[in-house]
Structure 1
């Protein structure tokens, strides 16, 4: 790498609704972590770059130390992940990203990160112009030749549709789905040339509040009762379409005194400090929603869910308890 050493923008993936692995493609598991590039330049300097371009080097000293085992002039694309209780713990990464020096070292000891490498961008020379199959072969040879130990992890890759389908069953540990890559495809920084399939399933939750008005709700805030009978917040829907707004408006009832969420505040997004203006409703309406597998440590859906339909045929007592589905 040159004296003005830097790492490129990562290649990106466009969403797809098709979970099947097509001929001429490879599939990789989609990890619930932080996309990151790790580079070791000639002379030993190490850089960890986030997808957005932020410098994460100081936040992950264990990855920096492990990079001493990489050859000079090497750059890897992959995912920073943290395991906790045999599950991927995205929230631990978020807690670590702004820590530096002593606080970063303490966090590394408490919540050690792994780097799951899925692409090789440099190894003595630029590899981005090579097709995926060649970059993948070189990445595997790097891992075996250097005998890279943890925190390095080689991301699985397959051209077998049956194997790819089996990986979709890994949702219980927090795996998010699959990424599909053409075998003859070069690595183009910033281009959405890959495809990603996010695992989703339908389930039910109680509507406890809405944004907008009861006559024209914009989004719905969802909850589930815990084992003690308390309504716990579990996530929010995407913006409702016209049909969903009309169907929901017919069913919503204004909140009576003593709503379990009285006095609560709700974030506008996962990790956001902006508060939503919400209207509490009687928590008696059940909605069927399409969700993915990304949960935070408390069991809440980390991504907005899609309202599929109102379920007046179901009572709140008939839906899963909070934290029961993982």
Structure 2
């Protein structure tokens, strides 16, 4: 095998709409909600994360599948865990923390799968300079010739924009498909470059404004909550930076809250995957906002920042 870990994966930049038809054909793929991995198969199997870390100890069943493939190859894939007929990112995160006997047990109870969408090398031939449609053909041949089954899966792909639009239905988002990857059919694999496009499925929802960053009279962003079955306000997400008109509108109606606020004295992380505390100011949780969000939700919490759209004066916190 010519390639060896770590290999930088090719990346994508986010877009907000499907591109207009162009002179070059494009291919659309479902974007599964998981961990990006490069899988090195053969006698020296290796499971590489997007940032180059070795995920093999946490997912021993995947390492065994890579060793047993019977062909030396390097494939690009999304590592996922299925639970209750959907892709469960939270379960995947929990599994990534286990090692040894706990990892083996988790592999039996919640086995991981690989949704593969590209191949960089196979049987000693590096394919990165081949156009994407040829690499896809090699990947499909690999699946057909080896009759691959779980944990291996082939990512759905289409050249039909109408079919791709159906994959943006929120029902797919509820199943763990968070959007589309849009790729030039003739493009080569360029490690580290953002040569692909990513379009996330989005939906609107309602949430209670529970706190702000910045000053209450001039908020920079919002912290949103919803009431749980016991009536307690639970944090569900944070907004992107507010526009100046939105900050002016909200600054005129938001009111600072004191120790009676359920989030008073609480500590929330400043961002996903960090322990740095967020500086925020609780506000009286009596205003409901309409938000625009993607479908990446973990245990009721939006994993990515949401966008504030407008106040919902027709709704009360009890409606959320």
TM-score where L is the length of structure 1: 0.91
**Structure 1 partner of 2:34:** 33
Partner-residue secondary structure (3-state), 1:258 = coil
Q: Which moved more, 1:87-96 or 1:183-192?
A: 87-96
**Structure 2 partner of 1:73:** 72
**Structure 2 partner of 1:280:** 282
Q: Is the aligned partner of 1:113 residue 2:112?
A: yes
Q: Is the aligned partner of 1:148 residue 2:148?
A: yes
Shift in Å at residue 174 of structure 1? 2.0
Alignment partners' CA distance in 2, 1:38 and 1:192: 20
**Structure 1 partner of 2:208:** 206
Q: Which moved more, 1:306-315 or 1:117-126?
A: 306-315
Shift in Å at residue 40 of structure 1? 1.9
**Structure 2 partner of 1:138:** 138
Q: Which moved more, 1:158-167 or 1:186-195?
A: 158-167
In the alignment, which of 178, 186, 196 is matched to residue 194 of structure 1? 196
Shift in Å at residue 93 of structure 1? 2.0
CA deviation vs aligned residue, 1:168-188 (integer Å, no higher than 9, x gap): 221121211000111111111
CA deviation vs aligned residue, 1:228-275 (integer Å, no higher than 9, x gap): 332221111122232222121111112155323334321212332222
Task: Kindly report the root-mean-square deviation, in angstroms, between the aligned alpha carbons of the 2 structures.
Answer: 1.8
Count of aligned pairs between the two proteins: 315
Alignment partners' CA distance in 2, 1:139 and 1:263: 53
- Correspondence 1:1-326 to 2 at 5 A: 1-2=1-2, 5-19=4-18, 22=21, 24-41=25-42, 44-124=43-123, 125-169=125-169, 170-296=172-298, 298-319=299-320
In structure 1, runs of 5+ residues without a counterpart are 320-326
Q: Which moved more, 1:97-106 or 1:44-53?
A: 97-106
Shift in Å at residue 193 of structure 1? 0.8
Contact between 1:7 and 1:39, CA under 8 Å: does it hold in 2?
no
Contact between 1:117 and 1:155, CA under 8 Å: does it hold in 2?
yes
Partner-residue secondary structure (3-state), 1:49 = strand
Partner-residue secondary structure (3-state), 2:235 = strand
Q: Which moved more, 1:307-316 or 1:111-120?
A: 307-316
Partner-residue secondary structure (3-state), 2:301 = coil
Contact between 2:29 and 2:157, CA under 8 Å: does it hold in 1?
yes
Contact between 1:247 and 1:310, CA under 8 Å: does it hold in 2?
no
Partner-residue secondary structure (3-state), 1:171 = helix
Partner-residue secondary structure (3-state), 1:168 = coil
Partner-residue secondary structure (3-state), 1:108 = helix
In structure 2, runs of 5+ residues without a counterpart are none
Alignment partners' CA distance in 2, 1:274 and 1:86: 34
Shift in Å at residue 100 of structure 1? 2.2
Partner-residue secondary structure (3-state), 2:101 = helix
**Structure 2 partner of 1:324:** none
Contact between 2:258 and 2:264, CA under 8 Å: does it hold in 1?
no
Taking a change above 3 Å as real, the CA distance of residues 227 and 5 of structure 1, as seen in their structure-2 partners, is closer
Shift in Å at residue 87 of structure 1? 1.8
